[in-house]
Structure 1
């Protein structure tokens, strides 16, 4: 049997625009120290470390961690595109759950350049060839639009064509993201925007305007994971556990369906969520707070359905009814999400983890979702990988059952 895994500590630093100038090693070190302090743990307790980043030279993880301590532990560098942080978390959880290690660190960081994402290597096959080929079968290329915006904007356009969705519905997601981020000191964009301002910002592709696209961002986040017995012995927090987690990759439907929502990972998300709900013995109706991968408003909209938060074809009603925010059925992205908090690729998954751990511990301040005992995380990377994680607030080391929650 796998051991239950506790998130003993989580930490992150305020995300910034690339012009802020802080280097990845400094950002990563600060996030690690914040997670250790949150756990009340010294670095000497860490037995393994998984370091996630997308843009950087090999062994950047060691460069970060050597500034924390030269302990000789294994350090594994992880790159899984935009799901890198959660992939590092997935590996760390597996190490603890399997008994390979008792206390493990996951850290993600990214020092990004201004502008749209672009390939670093142009002398070898491109990793997105199959995605661009699938896209070319259903929509015209737009050389002036970034590739990611064409992919996710195309998914939004496909959803609109299928269900008659009003473009203003996508804009409402950006407005909600800024409203949530206003209470998050770690977020880059905290100023409110109106629906009219979102729609009037420069058009990018499909239903997307500039204010519906996440910005390039720099930042770092980290988490300390351990087993319950280890936590007891060392006096570490054990009140938040990973109840279930799944990592999925693409299947033939990504490239053969002729559906842009599937090209950008709808089926990966749906399958990862299915595995998590089955393993957790809890469904989307039990979850009051979600951090999901809103790299574009279009992806947030289709992800509502992929995660089962609302039935297929009803995402627009879900938004219009306010069921995606405080006072509704589930609070999505209380942090402000990628749209407002920012998206430093390697750090995003661990920043989502930090937000949900703080939510479950009642430490989210004005962002707090009252009474949250379960939380769901969704982190997507094209190329592709999707990680879905369910966290649980527990007391006296006992798993909360449906009966206990109802009582």
Structure 2
């Protein structure tokens, strides 16, 4: 029997450019302490911990958590590419829901290098071999950096299929900057217009400008999850709970569809969202606020459709109608998203949790969504895994 899972505390540090941050263990420990403080519990209350990061040696989670305490608890190191933070959250939620633990810490951190993402190990098969083979066949252009080629290709697929204009992606990036202006934890808070985005250097002519891509960043974020009984016994904040959560991985269609949108996880997102809506008994029309995986403006647009926020092929109208921002149907990425906040891979999913928890508590300040009660989180990692989480205010 599944138990209710409460988000008792969240913590996040400001994200920074590579070379301008503290070390990964310092960032992770700082985020963890903030989450413990926010929850009102001590490290001795934590029964399990899940530590997420992508670029680091094994047991980096212990290195970060030992700075907080050394209580002998199970610490599990998690790596699921860009969905690492939400995968740690997924495992922590399972531990609470199943009754295996009553108080669990999910932690994410990343100390990144400048420049485009790349493979670390060159002496063995890449987990992206199949993805690259399909992408080579559909697009060619191997000189374009890996992530840019994948997601730019997905945007190009949408443009060809539905006539979507490059300016629509620019509108999404401009919206992100308006939201980030009210987020003191966002790395880039400067307002940019649609024209600014369009006039930025072209990374892929006709497909993507530099401002449509999120920057590599360093940072940390964390969440304390507890059972409802534990929360009540300790007098903790029970306002925010996880109503439903699902993780999906690729199916054969990723490689057999001849569609770059599906190569980058459209099907994973669609399936995970459907599972969450069914499990929660809450449809997309009831969602108030969303943090979704906008590693590129192109991925934000195709995610609108995959999450069921608008019909397939309807994302451009969705953007033009302003249904992705304040005053529209949904407020998407009020934090500024990855495009403005930055994307330290292991921390991203937990930073989304941080934002949505404050949105539902009503403590998000000027970027708060009025009377928000239902929140949706979408975190995607190529290779691949997708985690969709629904939160409710009690």
TM-score tier (shorter): over 0.9
Separation in structure 1 between the aligned mates of residue 305 and residue 21 of structure 2, nearest angstrom: 38
Partner of 1:277: 277
Separation in structure 2 between the aligned mates of residue 88 and residue 208 of structure 1, nearest angstrom: 31
* 1:86-126 superposed Cα distances (whole Å, 9 cap, x missing partner): 00000000000000011000000000010000110000001
**Alpha-carbon distance, 1:147 to partner:** 0.8
Query: Contact 1:170–1:207 at 8 Å: present in 2 too?
Result: no
Query: Contact 1:242–1:390 at 8 Å: present in 2 too?
Result: yes
Instruction: Return 5+ residue gaps in structure 2 as ranges.
Output: none
Q: What root-mean-square deviation, in Å, do the aligned CA atoms of Structure 1 and Structure 2 show?
A: 0.7
Instruction: Return 5+ residue gaps in structure 1 as ranges.
Output: 395-407
Partner of 1:60: 60
Query: Contact 2:109–2:219 at 8 Å: present in 1 too?
Result: yes
Separation in structure 2 between the aligned mates of residue 379 and residue 243 of structure 1, nearest angstrom: 17
* 1:348-396 superposed Cα distances (whole Å, 9 cap, x missing partner): 00000000000000000011000111000000000000000000000xx
Partner of 1:405: none
Partner of 1:250: 250
Q: What SS class does the counterpart of residue 19 from structure 1 fall into?
A: coil
Matched, 1:330 2:330: yes
The TM-score normalised by the length of structure 2 is: 0.99
**Alpha-carbon distance, 1:21 to partner:** 3.4
1:8-407 equivalences in 2 (<5 Å): 8-143=8-143, 145-205=144-204, 207-394=207-394
Separation in structure 2 between the aligned mates of residue 251 and residue 68 of structure 1, nearest angstrom: 40
**Alpha-carbon distance, 1:239 to partner:** 1.1
Q: What SS class does the counterpart of residue 376 from structure 2 fall into?
A: strand
Separation in structure 1 between the aligned mates of residue 105 and residue 318 of structure 2, nearest angstrom: 37
* 1:314-361 superposed Cα distances (whole Å, 9 cap, x missing partner): 100000010000000000000000000000000000000000000000
* 1:223-260 superposed Cα distances (whole Å, 9 cap, x missing partner): 00010000011111111100000000000110000000
Number of residue pairs matched? 393
**Alpha-carbon distance, 1:200 to partner:** 1.3
Separation in structure 2 between the aligned mates of residue 271 and residue 106 of structure 1, nearest angstrom: 24
Separation in structure 1 between the aligned mates of residue 86 and residue 134 of structure 2, nearest angstrom: 26
Q: What SS class does the counterpart of residue 357 from structure 1 fall into?
A: helix
Separation in structure 2 between the aligned mates of residue 178 and residue 127 of structure 1, nearest angstrom: 34
Separation in structure 2 between the aligned mates of residue 165 and residue 248 of structure 1, nearest angstrom: 28
* 1:150-199 superposed Cα distances (whole Å, 9 cap, x missing partner): 01000100100011111100000110001100011111000001111111
Q: What SS class does the counterpart of residue 274 from structure 1 fall into?
A: helix
